[in-house]
Amino acid sequence: MILLKIYWRTKAAIKKLCFKIMFGKRFSVGKNTTFRKNFGLYLEKGASIKIGNDCFFNRGCSVNCLESVEIGDHTIFGENVKIYDQNHKFRDRTKLIREQGYSTGRVKIGNNCWICTNAVILKGVEIGDNSVIGAGCVIHHDIPANSVVKSNGGITIESLD
C-alpha cells in the first residue's frame, strides 16, 4: 500500500509540473493534491483554475475551464466527475449550435467537500464548505454549506419553443 501511495504521489507531482509548464500562472494547485489515471484538464486562454491543498481526483475526472474554476482544500472527487464553467449557446435557430459560442460562469467548490462518482458540476455554481454531492447528480445552482445533495432519478423535458 505504501508503494502504491508513493507511485500515485509521484505521478501527481509530474502531472502538476506539466500543467504548470503548459498553463503558467493560470493554473495553481496546492500541496498533497493527487490525480488518478485519466484526469483531464482543459484551460482556455485567459481562464484560470485554482485547486487547494490535499485534494484528491479519482480516475476519469475532468475540469473544463473557459473562465474560472476554484476548488478548496481537502475536497475529494469520485470517479468520472466533470466540471464545466461553460455551456453551449443554442437558442439561435438560424445557426448551428457549435457556431453560437458559449456562456460562462465561475465555478467554486468549497473546502472539505465530497463530489461523488459521475457527478457533473455546471457553470455559475458555488458549492459551500463541507457539502456532499451524491453519485450521478447534475449541479446547476448553488449548494449551501453543510448540505447533502441526492438524485431522485427523475428528468424534466422542455421544448425549445
Q: How many angstroms separate the CA atoms of 31 and 24, rounded?
A: 17
Instruction: Classify 21 as helix, strand or coil.
Output: helix
Phi, psi (degrees; rounded to nearest 5) at 111: -80, 150
- The strand pairing partners of 63, in sequence order, are 41, 83
Which of these is catalytic: 74, 88, 140, 141? Answer: 88
To which residue does cell 485567459 refer? 46
Tell me whether residue 141 is one of the annotated catalytic residues. Answer: no
Q: Distance between alpha carbon 97 and the CA centroid of its chain, in Å? A: 23
Residue indicated by cell numbers 454531492: 133
Question: What's the Rg (C-alpha) of the chain?
Answer: 17
Taking the C-alpha atoms of residue 116 and residue 125, their distance in angstroms, rounded to an integer, is: 16
Positions marked active-site? 88
